[in-house]
Amino acid sequence: MTGFLAQHGTEIIELTLEHLWLTGSAMLLAAAIGVPTGIWLTRHPRWAKPVLGVVNIIQTIPSLALFGFLLPLPWIGDRAARIAIAALTAYALLPIVRNTYTGIEGVDPTVLGVAKALGMTSGQRLRKVELPLAASFILAGLRTATVLAVGIATIAAAVGAGGLGEFIFRGVASVDNRLVLAGAIPAALLAIAADAGLGWVESRLRVPAPGRT
């Protein structure tokens, strides 16, 4: 065991960092696309069903197949990491868009009515009322998406994007469980850490509910 760690220690760290980089950049991209899309849908509710339908379908595509679909695309298909990030971003969209949309839709209409009556512009209503009140919801979506992405990122190794999946694929090919675990354990720990960390932020953002309304 110590021999294994001595031999593969640096590689575990390297691949963990690579894994973090893949999921991290995909999450940033997904948030940058998903949150504005969710907000836009609250302003154009007619589009909510079709758009949520599309991001829902993306999620039903098997990840290996999605990586394969992206392979022939120009620019994205040129580098394995780009393929991985694009696919992870696509998977992360559903929870982020859906939670942003339902979070803002769920804001108490009385409170919004008052915001309007006091003379808030629609931008002020969004920034000062809707987003803060929906923040814990939006973060819950980011959290689900992150845990999902950490798991799916292990499959990115199949297209040569690196990450902890490298160990898993190598371990499976050489029937070496130590290698499989060297990929699986850090990946699981990353998922648990992301879940706990984002869960903590989420609880900080939650607006304490009044005992009665």
Partner 1 sequence: MTGSAAIVFDQVELTAPDGRVILDHIDLEVPAGSMTALLGRSGSGKTTLLRMVNRLIEPTAGRVMVDSKATTDWDPITLRRSIGYVIQETGLFPHFDAERNIGAVLEIEGRSKQQISQRARQLFTQVGLDYATFAHRLPYQLSGGQRQRVGLGRALAAEPKLLLMDEPFGALDPLTRAEMQDMVRRLLQRLDMTVILVTHDLNEALYLASRIVLLEGGKVVANLPVEEFVGSQIAEVQSYVRAVRRGVLQESK
Interface residues with partner 1 (CB under 8 A) are 108, 110-111, 113-121, 124, 128-129, 132-133, 207-211, 213
Q: How far is the CB of 111 from partner 1 (least distance, A)?
A: 6
Task: Decide: 134 and 104 in contact? Cβ < 8 Å.
Answer: yes
- In the complex, least distance from residue 211 CB atom to partner 1, rounded to whole angstroms: 6
Residue 137: both structure tokens together: 């919801």
Question: For partner 1, which is the closer residue by CB, 74 or 211?
Answer: 211
Nearer to partner 1, 133 or 179 (CB): 133
| H helix runs in 118-161, sequence order | 122-124, 131-153
Residue 46 C-beta: closest distance to partner 1, Å: 18
Q: Which is nearer to partner 1, 26 or 138 (CB)?
A: 138
Amino acid letter for position 59: Q
Q: How many helices (H) and strands (E) does the chain have?
A: 9, 0
Give the dihedral sign, CA 38/40/42/47: negative
Minimum CB separation of residue 119 from partner 1 in Å reads 3
Q: Which residue has the tokens 């394995």?
A: 80
User: Whose Cβ is closer to partner 1: residue 51's or residue 129's?
Assistant: 129
